[in-house]
Chain A
């Protein structure tokens, strides 16, 4: 059965690696629903967070193939309920619409969003949450015409208390020192 999985991968920060990783998906004709790459807590190590809709068998094989890349330190996969995750969305509305009534303000309160910037012409509102939440806010807000809308890729953190990368790096250093 296909479902949403979150793949996280830690890698060296090298040019061309993103291409190597996306090829793993394109070769298997798997669409990437969302992709976020940023430096992790460890300097020089990037963290990929990739959301896909596949079967568990597929996600296992994809993770094996990502893990196989020379510059990837480690890749994992999780279901949504195994992780805390968020996306961030920005909405631009006309400031006139905001001031005309308290409807937009009510929506902002209801959805726990916040205003980032107000100019004479437009107001930028920010909301973080799951895709359904940011989408619902968009649908509500769009009665007043959203001038621009953008949503980020997903970021996610495990529910486990251990930072797996630190553990992993420690283990690897031990193995490497044994083989030297």
Chain B
């Protein structure tokens, strides 16, 4: 039955109809009517006021990534909307389903350079899956339904809905119907059985198959199918940065991370396998290194929901278009049970080499000082692998990905494609709302922390029990590492000072502690984990540690370095 309500109320009701219970946002002039409508719906819709719109969208991303649900973020017109753009771009590259609602000047003022007018539709076009400006109030239910359908289906992504202010006041006869199809948009193409059969045959024939899995496995909830496939055919499997946690870290066939700072075995074996089976991943340049030297010897199966990814970077001999869960379900019965014991042993041997040369010293530092890898190991142990790990961008991100142990799916939140410094703290806020039942531990460098540290205010106001670990080396560590390796140690503007982070946290009413020596580390992390509420731990880590292994930019994955070259 239709109800006569105004546009703002229609926006809020549409969001409730979609099963959303949390919104991250920041009010302002052009979105005030929507905030006014929100005021009456406190029982159904929780609104988290961040300290900056960038914080709102990163929080929404964190929420979506851990919960698997679409998240919503509000901002006003002009600067409110433009402040979302970094997060929208991040969500686009990492395929995160976020619906952004921005206020806009009243429709008669569009295009007049009115106060706080920005062409957010034009600006967000390259970085949204879809965007739309509503200037007719009657469009609201249909456009909102389309927004949620597009954001979450197929390969997910951000959608922006720009809402002219006059529309927020105008009246309509409201009736909501969820969208489940759009003529011009096919998020899931029917699976071609022949493609599946061809892929199965290739797997059955392969002597050295190697499976790579990405975030597509998480999107389609294909974790169980992935496990069944690798176990049945006995295939070593490695993950992309965003695919991590789709297979538990301690699974015997989980051979580690791909790419620039991934594990040694997965990188060198890429160029020794005879079959690459890529599932829900897109061959990012951080994974492939030099494309021309990437697995030239191997046949490639590419299981992917987005047709534009097929043959985009690495040509697929056996493309299989479709949702990972559906494709794998069809593939598993066609795949023979198999054993690849010797081949898998090669990965184990490579791991031993890496352990001796890199890992041991990363996670057990015996000189009294503290390494980032060790902090990650201890935090992972103290949370029994049950925590959600959120990272910022840089060295701590790579150490966290390498050394955090995952038991459960959707347990890592990190900015992969865009590499957005400042992502970690607000993303942790969202992750905690997405999974209030789980401990959220976030690793942030002292540089990235200073980009969005105002979100400590949000954490304090809402008493969000996130555990914040600042790995402080007074450097922009990853850039410094590159200066060390490739720019003759010319440390151009990578020295960075900071405030007293402990006092800063305390100023927000958040308990905090600083760790200086290795002997205090375990106790401090235990204390943090056991604390009921938000907690900040500043750990003074070794100043000039580098992340290894490393595939230098533009090099082949087989040229992965285990240590700094001596020449």
Contacts and interface: CB of A to CB of B under 8 A. Distances in A.
Contacts, number: 56
Contacts of B180: 179-180
A150 interface: no
A133 to B, nearest CB: 36
Contact of B307 (A64, A71, A180): A64
B125 interface: yes
A176 B306 contact: no
A15 B133 CA distance: 9
Main SS of the interface on chain A? Answer: helix
Nearest to A57: B311
B181 A176 contact: yes
17 contacts: A12-B184, A15-B133, A23-B125, A27-B126, A67-B307, A68-B307, A70-B129, A70-B185, A71-B184, A71-B185, A169-B183, A172-B183, A175-B190, A176-B183, A179-B180, A179-B188, A180-B181
A68 B122 contact: no
Interface residues of A, number: 25
A161 interface: no
Given A70-B130, A175-B190, A64 B312 contact: yes
A16 B121 CA distance: 8
Contacts of A72: 184
A169 to B, nearest CB: 8
A15 B121 CA distance: 10
Contacts of B189: 175
B308 interface: yes
A64 B184 contact: no
Interface residues of B, number: 26
B280 to A, nearest CB: 16
Nearest to B122: A19
Nearest to A23: B126
Interface of A: 11-12, 15-16, 19-20, 23, 27, 60-61, 64-65, 67-68, 70-73, 169, 172, 175-176, 178-180
Given A11-B184, A172-B186, A70 B150 contact: yes
Contacts of B131: 16
B142 to A, nearest CB: 13
Q: Determine which residue in B122, B183, B188, B189 has the highest number of CB atoms from chain A within 10 A of its CB, and name it.
A: B183
9 closest Cβ pairs, A-B complex: A64-B308, A68-B308, A70-B130, A73-B184, A70-B185, A23-B126, A176-B181, A71-B184, A19-B125
Interface string B100-112: 0000000000000
Contacts of A172: 183, 186
A180 B179 CA distance: 11
A175 B126 contact: no
B129 A16 contact: no
Contacts of A27: 126
Interface string B305-340: 011101110000000000000000000000000000
